[in-house]
Homo-oligomer: A and B are copies of this chain.
Amino acid sequence: MSKEIKLNNLTETVQLFKIFSDLTRLRIIDLLYSGEHAVQAIADELDTSQSAISHQLKLLRDMNVVKTRKAGKQVIYRLRDSHIKEIFLIGYSHATECEI
């Protein structure tokens, strides 16, 4: 494996881990893990402003972490694939099983 390829792969890996490296984003992912939610429902549940949630959801959308569907005035978010769920669960279990 060439050095350049390897560096690109590592850069992509960094991007992946950055998704999970913010508490608000991780709480959103954790909440969506239990099923789809509308924006305001997420904001209420996490006791965070709708704007802050919307900004983070845009990031998650751009990173292809979440999908949306419209339901009237609401936009319902859900996790895109089990790929993301798996990484989240592995990190979560590792972090909770033992001290870092």
Residue of B6, B14, B64 near A22 (CB, 8 A) is B14
Interface residues on A, range: 35 or more
Contact with B along A55-96 (1 / 0, CB 8 A): 000000001100000000000000000010011101110111
Whether the pair A83, B98 counts as a contact (CB closer than 8 A) is yes
- Contacting B at CB under 8 A, from A1-29, are 6-7, 9-23, 26-27
Residue of B17, B27, B99 near A17 (CB, 8 A) is B17
| Given A9-B92, A63-B100, also A21-B14 (CB < 8 A) | yes
> Is A30 interfacial (CB-CB < 8 Å)?
yes
A15 to chain B, nearest CB (A): 6
Residue of B15, B20, B63, B98 near A13 (CB, 8 A) is B20
Whether the pair B10, A14 counts as a contact (CB closer than 8 A) is no
